[in-house]
Structures are given as C-alpha cells and as structure tokens.
Amino acid sequence: MIRPSVAAPGVPMYRWYPSFVKALITRWHQRSLNVNSWNAFPSDRFPSVAVVGNAGYLRDIGQGDRIDNHDLVIRMNNFQIRGFEAQVGSRVDLFLTTFFTDIQYDRPELRAAKYLVASVPNNFRKHRRQHVHHRHAEQIVNGLQAMRRTDVYVPEWQLFRDWIQKLGGFPSTGLMAIVFALESLDCEQIYLTGFSFFQGAAHYFPDQPSSARNHNFLREQQCLQTLLAPHVASGKVTMDPVMRELLEFPTAVPPTDHGISWNKGADTLADGGCTLKIPCPERVSTRVSRDANALID
C-alpha cells in the first residue's frame, strides 16, 4: 500500500510508481501548502525592484549598497551572499528558483527571503513534446519541505507554454525572473544586473556545473531585447552597462539610469561609487556569439 504521508523522494521504489500515483502523492502533499499563481503576488508594495543574476562579472562591481537600496531584491537559484556583500549586497527579499534537485536549501541566506517564487509551473506530469521534462509540482513540494516553508507563487501553465513556444526551448530562470518583475509587479523602477548570457565566468561565486541543453540561447537573447526595449526607452528598466552592451542597447544613458557612464579613456566603468574593470565599449563585442553558451542562469 502506498503511503502518501511519506515525502516523495524518500519513498523506496518511488521512481517506479506510475505517473498517476506520483501525481496523487504530490497532490496529497500540496493540501497543506499554499501554491498560488504569480497573479496573486502582492505587487503594489514595491516601488523599486532589483533583479540580481549570478553572472561572473558581478564580482568586479562594488554595487552592494545600490542593490540593497531597492524596495525588493530578487535573487535566484544558488546565489551566494557571504563574502560578496560589497559586490552584490546582503538582502534577499524574494527567492526565485526552479526548485530543481541541485538547489542548495540549507543556506542561511534563504531564511531571510520573505517570498518564494517558482520559475516553473505547478505541473504534475511531464510534457516532453513541450520541452517540459520534469514534474515540477513534485520538485516544488520537495523544496518547500526542505526549507520548511508553505507558501509559493508559480507561473500559470499557459504563460510558461507561451514562452516555450517563443523560445523553442525551456526558458531560463533569469528570463522568468525578468518576466515576473515586468508582468507581476506593479513597480516604478526595475534594475537588472548580473546577466551575461554565460559569456565569461558563469557565476560570481565558485563555479558550479550548469546545463544549458534545454535552452535556445540566441532566441532567448532576441526575445529579451524585444521585451525590454520599450521599458528601457521609458526609463522604467535600467541595467548595469555590461548587460546593456550585451543586449545592444545604446550606451548613451539617460539621467534616469542612476548616473551609469563609461569612462572612454580607460578600461574601467564608472557607476557613482563603484568601478568595473572591463574593456571599454570599442573593444566589447556587442553581439552574443551564436556559438557561445548564451544562457541566462
């Protein structure tokens, strides 16, 4: 007899259970959880939002205070704070994640996250033809249990499917974080930083293996350019200059962009009190290589 009171990953022979049985077990566990739609997120509380990726170039920018000054700070997956406070800040108000098995749930930083948001839908079965190769509902349950939390916000299945169709592959966590900030938060300012499309070091912390096989790299970059363009033009969305260059937005920055400017005469980037040592724009490739691992992680 199957005992649904046992956590799914701990059930002997669980992997051999039929799909409908796994779905029943997961649904039983979710009875004690609050799995809400992105649309139900309390979006009117945060005038300014910082969405912080994990790109390697962040360790060369001292913008910790700037990130922490936002009303809501979003971080994702296996981000790290300890030892990188000067570069990426110390706050984490919202943790957005895939809930995949490689996520480290025992980090002290996660205790401070008031909100948990999934980048994947609450599907109980796999849909391989639609590039959905996991029962995300099961992983969400396992993640919440590991963190001893009960509340999470998930994207609607149709929204997720729409992005799969646009991209021709599985949307990355970073892309979904940006979509969440734009479409589910009623905010005035969004600051994006730490997205390099895996050009250079993948992470600012000691590197970890990253799988990009389910992503359409070039298409994701193109869709993100289109998605952000009107918001960048209006001044609602600003970003660090590295990301701006990679997305081919003009380097001439309006006053609403917090005073970020290039120091043309040197290999540095000036941003108020922080400096980034990178090549000046004349020597920075403004196109994401078709052969590179252009993935938002």
Residues 198 and 101 in one domain: yes
Segment holding 122, helix H or strand E: none
* pLDDT computed for residue 135 by the predictor: 80
* pLDDT computed for residue 278 by the predictor: 41
288 in any annotated domain:
no
CA atoms lying within 13 Å on the CB side of residue 243: 26
Residue with tokens 């499917």: 161
C-alpha span between 280 and 175 (Å, rounded): 26
C-alpha span between 169 and 216 (Å, rounded): 5
* pLDDT computed for residue 15 by the predictor: 66
Q: pLDDT category, 158, cuts 50, 70, 90?
A: very high
223 in any annotated domain:
yes
294 in any annotated domain:
no
Query: Does 220 or 60 have the greater pLDDT score?
Result: 60
Residues 23 and 61 in one domain: no
Strand partners, 188: none
Residues 202 and 144 in one domain: yes
292 in any annotated domain:
no
- Residue pair 33/174 in contact by the 8 Å Cβ criterion: no
Fill in the DSSP letter of residue 172. P
Query: Does 256 or 119 have the greater pLDDT score?
Result: 119
> What is the three-class DSSP state of 152?
strand
* pLDDT computed for residue 20 by the predictor: 76
Residues 26 and 87 in one domain: no
Residues 133 and 204 in one domain: yes
CA neighbor of 52 nearest in space, from 195, 198, 257: 195
Mean pLDDT is lowest, of 75-84, 95-104, 132-141, 255-264, for 255-264
pLDDT at 206 over 90: no
Above pLDDT 70, what percent of the chain?
Answer: 72
**Structural domain that includes position 19:** 1-32
C-alpha span between 83 and 57 (Å, rounded): 15
Mean pLDDT is lowest, of 55-69, 109-123, 195-209, 247-261, for 247-261
Residues 43 and 189 in one domain: yes
* pLDDT computed for residue 214 by the predictor: 67
* pLDDT computed for residue 260 by the predictor: 38
Q: pLDDT for 73-114, tens place per residue?
A: 999 999 999 999 999 999 999 999 999 988 999 999 999 999
Total structural domains in the chain? 2
Instruction: Kindly report the CATH number assigned to the domain that includes residue 116.
Output: 3.90.1480
pLDDT at 50 over 90: yes
Residues 5 and 119 in one domain: no
Residues 94 and 189 in one domain: yes
218 in any annotated domain:
yes
* pLDDT computed for residue 128 by the predictor: 67
25 in any annotated domain:
yes
pLDDT at 65 over 70: yes
* pLDDT computed for residue 284 by the predictor: 35
Query: Does 260 or 119 have the greater pLDDT score?
Result: 119
State the average pLDDT over residues 129-152: 85
C-alpha span between 55 and 276 (Å, rounded): 14
- Residue pair 202/297 in contact by the 8 Å Cβ criterion: yes
* pLDDT computed for residue 274 by the predictor: 42
Residues 179 and 262 in one domain: yes
Residues 164 and 279 in one domain: yes
pLDDT at 241 over 70: yes
Residues 14 and 104 in one domain: no
24 in any annotated domain:
yes
Residues 233 and 254 in one domain: yes
> What is the three-class DSSP state of 64?
helix
44 in any annotated domain:
yes
